[in-house]
Homo-oligomer: A and B are copies of this chain.
Amino acid sequence: MTPEDRAAIGARRPPWRTGRRSTVRRLPERAAYDRETVEAILDEGFVCHVAFSTEEGPVVLPTAYARVGEVLYLHGAAANHALRTIGGGIPICLAVTLVDGLVLARSAFHHSVNYRSVVVYGHAEEVRDPVEKRAALDAVVDQIVPGRVADARGPSDSELRATRVVRVTIDEASAKCRAGGPKDDAEDVEQGGIWAGHLPLTVVPGTPVPDDPRGERLAVPGYVVRTQRPGR
């Protein structure tokens, strides 16, 4: 799927809004509502945590996702209980969190984590149109490893039937980010004697492990070699 295809699918949906729920109340200086910041975080991640309410209480589950323009797609087995539940159009909330580092202040109180996160309030709807369904599944594969979908064998009709896809309309979205070193009290800095600073954390890909029972020894594709997270 080309970027134009992704944008075209997304263009069907209304734009994002920010409301009372998505307005960051704690440490509002860490909040961001602009599309660029929100989309950059959604595009760098590939696992979200999606929450929905049931009669027995709230449920939150990790799952892969793809952003295509204005919407997010989630997928799973056709019998997947959570997807079936949220596909019915109930309100959902979804978070994507990228952890960038650990912040060690002089005081325990000012310890923190550097992160970039997006919280989305929205609602989901099952995708039944096979064209949109295939495009969404392509997008999920490409969200995980950009470029992969061109090489992989696409879904057969029975695989497509065995898969449930839901389209998440973003009703509200906001980002919250923290970066940099500790913000200690002046007295603690004056006092001195305690090492303080921050430790960047990066997700680093290891050596690709081929699955090659027939001894084909195919070359590792460039998009696998280049896969870097975050900031791929």
Task: Say whether B80 contacts A26, CB under 8 Å.
Answer: yes
Task: Say whether B189 contacts A213, CB under 8 Å.
Answer: yes
Q: When the two chains form the complex, which single residue of B90, B140, B200 contacts A209, counting CB atoms closer than 8 Å? A: B200
Task: Say whether B26 contacts A77, CB under 8 Å.
Answer: yes
Instruction: Kindly state whether residue A61 has any CB partner on chain B within 8 Å.
Output: yes
Task: Say whether B200 contacts A76, CB under 8 Å.
Answer: no
Task: Say whether B200 contacts A203, CB under 8 Å.
Answer: no
Main secondary structure of the interface of A (DSSP, over half): mixed
Task: Say whether A151 contacts B62, CB under 8 Å.
Answer: no
Instruction: Kindly state whether residue A39 has any CB partner on chain B within 8 Å.
Output: no
| Closest-CB distance, A197 to chain B (whole angstroms) | 4
Q: A223 to B107: give the CA distance in the assembly, Å.
A: 16
Task: Say whether A138 contacts B108, CB under 8 Å.
Answer: yes
Q: A61 to B224: give the CA distance in the assembly, Å.
A: 31
Task: Say whether A211 contacts B197, CB under 8 Å.
Answer: yes
Residues of B within 8 A of A3 (CB): none
Residues of B within 8 A of A153 (CB): 106-108, 188, 191, 194
Instruction: Kindly state whether residue A79 has any CB partner on chain B within 8 Å.
Output: yes
Residues of B within 8 A of A138 (CB): 108
Q: A197 to B219: give the CA distance in the assembly, Å.
A: 11
Q: A96 to B46: give the CA distance in the assembly, Å.
A: 15
